[in-house]
């Protein structure tokens, strides 16, 4: 009678990873477009864009310290 299918609780995981990648994608595209319109050479553009990625690069190193200092509540 009732043909509702149960959705697995793990179904939100791909959506979460996609949502986490959106800011990274936006920073990448906007910074490259901005630097290109400003006439920045490719070498400097790569340096400045890589500096913008720094928060994503160091997150695995500083997040355990944040978890130690602050509670989850």
Read off the pLDDT of residues 3-53 as tens digits, 9 standing for 90 and up.
567 888 788 888 888 888 898 899 889 999 999 999 999 999 999 998 988
pLDDT for res 8: 81
Kindly tell me the burial class for residue 31, based on how many C-beta atoms sit within 10 Å of its own C-beta (0-12, 13-18, 19 or more): middle
Q: CA 70 to CA 38: how far, in whole Å?
A: 41
pLDDT for res 36: 94
Q: Could you read off the pLDDT of 17-30 as tens digits, one per residue?
A: 888 889 889 988 99
pTM: 0.61
* HSE value, Cβ hemisphere, 13 Å, CA-based, for 62: 6
pLDDT for res 21: 86
Radius of gyration of the chain (CA): 19
DSSP conformation class of 40: -
């Amino acid at each position: 009678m009732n043909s509702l299918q149960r959705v697995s609780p793990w179904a939100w995981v791909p959506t979460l990873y996609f949502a986490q990648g959106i800011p990274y994608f936006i920073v990448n595209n906007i910074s490259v477009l901005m630097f290109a319109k400003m006439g920045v050479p490719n070498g400097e553009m790569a340096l400045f864009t890589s500096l913008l990625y720094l928060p994503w690069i160091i997150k695995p190193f500083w997040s355990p310290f944040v978890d130690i200092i602050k509670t989850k509540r």
